[in-house]
Chains A and B, each alone.
Chain A
Amino acid sequence: MSLLSLDRASLRYGDILGLSPTSFSLPLGGGITGLLGPNGAGKSSLIQLLCGLLPPSGGEVRVFGEAPYRNPAILGRIGLVPEGDRFPTGLRGDRWLRMMGRLSGLEGQALETALGATLDLVGMTDRAHLPFSAMSKGMRQRIRLAQGLLHGSDLLVLDEPFNGLDPEGRLELMETLRGLAGQGRHILVSSHILGEVAQLTDRILLLLRGRLLAEGSVTEIRALLDRHPVELRVHSEDPRAVARWAVEEAGLAGLRMEAGAVVLSVGSPRAFLPRFQDAVARGAFPFTALSPLDLDLDAVFHYLVQDHA
């Protein structure tokens, strides 16, 4: 039995295709899986299928070997931490969590024990009695996480959990997720930022325009960047001097001049950037700033689409 499996599962919202027929499976055994894709890629559609919010329009979805839609036995094993930061302002965190626990079939001493243990796990024992309006964004995120963990979920699904968190909050959340994964939980984290997921896990699913484009390790995805030219914008007081230096370097695929900058197209940024750094240190040309133009996830998707074509 696998943790989750999709067999040509698709999801339509009326005429709009949320997820094209997709097949993949993830094994049991705990750990974190990243669900990557730009906005509108189909991440939320996939999460809705996995969490049993909607039935697939076609194909089959199985979580822990069973269809999750309207299946209380499976829904009780999944903890969803949805995207967004909206809570009823006057409501207290512990009251909210108690209601969610009761909806999952907890009551009395079992509820209080689970609540205490979960709040301890997310570090909110002393602050859960506060109303949501008095909590920081990071605290509300912890309460959301506690809500997903309260009923002892075996699979924790987080939809864009890092959105809006400050760097400290992100690090804290990453630490918590790593700790949970290390103790045997299965965690699925959706994000549109490769760097965030790369810090968490080496197992990722890539989605674009409702299609699963690739599944594999972050290393494999990064390798894609090395196979395609990457554009680097170099800001300088003398862009022509930068261009003169660059044309003599190996690995330059092309360049174009801009006002106050030159855009270099390089075949392998990993090989090129150390040489560039040396040249700057030697004072080979005046240098102001360097910014990569297509090192983000969208560029990876673009390359993947090209490869698939």
Chain B
Amino acid sequence: MPIHAPSLPPHPIQGQGLPAALVLGRFEVRRILRQRLGRFFGFAFALVLLVELALVYFKPMAGAGGQLLPQGADFQAGLLGKALLFLLWLQVAQVGGGLVARDTLYRIRPLLYAHPVRPLDYLLGKGMVAVGIPLLIQLPFILLPWGLSLLSAGAQGPVWPTAPLRLIPAALVVALLMGLITLGASSLASTPRGGFAWALGLVLGFGALGTLLSGLLSDPRWGALSPMALAQAWPRLCCGAPGDLGWFPTGLGTLVHLGFWLGVVVLRTRPAEALA
């Protein structure tokens, strides 16, 4: 064993603290929280949430003599509505698009893998951020209207008492879809801006392809190619609201996207790829 002279720093005590995936995830979250763009998205999401909360009161009251009434499945699914999901896609593309691409640009992955960090730790760390952020943003849009409805009118309020049980699983699938697609896009890019462009390009490109094939083949199920259509379909399916996509095309389309983009990220973040 080497002899350490007294003037060298003593060997620090290792093996403490968080697992590597959590260290990476925490570092990314803190970096994201320091970004100025977060304020814009924070304002935009708050606005959408305020509108949603106002609807809980005013929409049911319109034709019911001032009293709150239970609403249908469309209203429940609308808590994770188009406006929220569109904003969320933009935000996730901006955040997730840079998660892997930034490390590629600054050649950080080889350095990470020279530490006790496995590729799985790296993927889990980045994945937690890419999936966790859209999930956390969706939760207030489910829980606040639900809580407000319960407080205002109990079980007879506009939001079903069981709505979180239906919408939280939908939000989780939507977050997984958004997180993995943007991580895949980020792994294909060499700069964070490139990752953002890839993420938007993939979402809009698959959307256009889905719409085109649906029209050409007169079969709306081809819409399941579109990540945006899939994200909109899950809350509706979980709440039992009618829609263009049924369980099978939505489930299959989601599984194909998740499997494909997970494969892309795994391949593109291997140590051999990081060193190329």
A250 within 8 A of B: no
What are the residues of chain B within 8 A of A26 when measuring CB–CB? none
Residue on A with the closest CB to B30?
A95
What are the residues of chain A within 8 A of B112 when measuring CB–CB? 103
Q: Do A75 and B9 form a contact, CB below 8 Å, given A84-B107, A86-B107?
A: no
B272 within 8 A of A: yes
What are the residues of chain A within 8 A of B102 when measuring CB–CB? 88
1/0 per residue, CB under 8 A from B, across A97-127: the answer is 0011111111110110110011001000000
From A13, A75, A102, A185, contact of B2 by CB (8 A): A185
A84 and B107 CA atoms in complex are apart in Å by 9
B interface, by DSSP: helix, strand, loop or mixed? loop
Rounded to whole Å, the gap between the CB of B160 and the closest CB of chain A is 44
- Tell me whether A52 and B114 are in contact (CB under 8 A): yes
What are the residues of chain A within 8 A of B17 when measuring CB–CB? 102, 105-108, 111
Stretch at the interface among B54-62, B115-123, B197-205: B115-123
- Tell me whether A184 and B2 are in contact (CB under 8 A): yes
- Tell me whether A53 and B7 are in contact (CB under 8 A): no
B111 within 8 A of A: yes
- Tell me whether B2 and A51 are in contact (CB under 8 A): no
- Tell me whether A80 and B271 are in contact (CB under 8 A): no
What are the residues of chain B within 8 A of A111 when measuring CB–CB? 12, 17
1/0 per residue, CB under 8 A from B, across A250-281: the answer is 00000000000000000000000000000000
What are the residues of chain A within 8 A of B272 when measuring CB–CB? 13, 54
What are the residues of chain A within 8 A of B30 when measuring CB–CB? 95
In the complex, how many residues of chain B place their beta carbon closer than 8 angstroms to a beta carbon of chain A?
42
Residue on B with the closest CB to A116?
B9
Rounded to whole Å, the gap between the CB of A216 and the closest CB of chain B is 23
Q: Do A105 and B14 form a contact, CB below 8 Å, given A13-B276, A52-B114, A75-B116?
A: yes
* Interface size classification for chain A: 35 or more
B16 within 8 A of A: yes
- Tell me whether A121 and B9 are in contact (CB under 8 A): yes
What are the residues of chain B within 8 A of A117 when measuring CB–CB? 9-10
What are the residues of chain B within 8 A of A87 when measuring CB–CB? 106
B206 within 8 A of A: no
Q: Do A76 and B107 form a contact, CB below 8 Å, given A102-B17, A108-B16?
A: no
What are the residues of chain A within 8 A of B217 when measuring CB–CB? none
- Tell me whether B114 and A110 are in contact (CB under 8 A): no
1/0 per residue, CB under 8 A from B, across A68-82: the answer is 001010011010101
A142 within 8 A of B: no
A53 and B109 CA atoms in complex are apart in Å by 10
Q: Which of B18-35 contact A (CB under 8 A)?
A: 18, 20, 23-24, 27, 30-31, 34
A184 and B5 CA atoms in complex are apart in Å by 7
- Tell me whether A152 and B12 are in contact (CB under 8 A): yes
Rounded to whole Å, the gap between the CB of A165 and the closest CB of chain B is 18
From B18, B24, B31, B113, contact of A107 by CB (8 A): B18
- Tell me whether A100 and B14 are in contact (CB under 8 A): no
Nearest 8 pairs of A and B residues by beta carbon: A107-B17, A117-B9, A72-B116, A105-B14, A114-B12, A152-B11, A80-B114, A183-B5
On A, residues with C-beta under 8 Å from B are 13, 28-30, 48, 51-54, 70, 72, 75-76, 78, 80, 82, 84, 86-88, 90-91, 95, 99-108, 110-111, 113-114, 117-118, 121, 147, 149-152, 154, 180, 182-186
29 contacts between A and B (CB under 8 A): A28-B1, A30-B2, A52-B114, A53-B110, A75-B114, A75-B116, A76-B14, A82-B110, A84-B107, A86-B105, A87-B106, A95-B27, A101-B12, A102-B23, A103-B24, A104-B14, A104-B115, A104-B116, A105-B14, A106-B12, A106-B13, A106-B14, A107-B17, A110-B14, A117-B10, A121-B9, A152-B12, A183-B7, A184-B5
On B, residues with C-beta under 8 Å from A are 1-5, 7-18, 20, 23-24, 27, 30-31, 34, 102, 105-107, 110-118, 271-272, 274-276
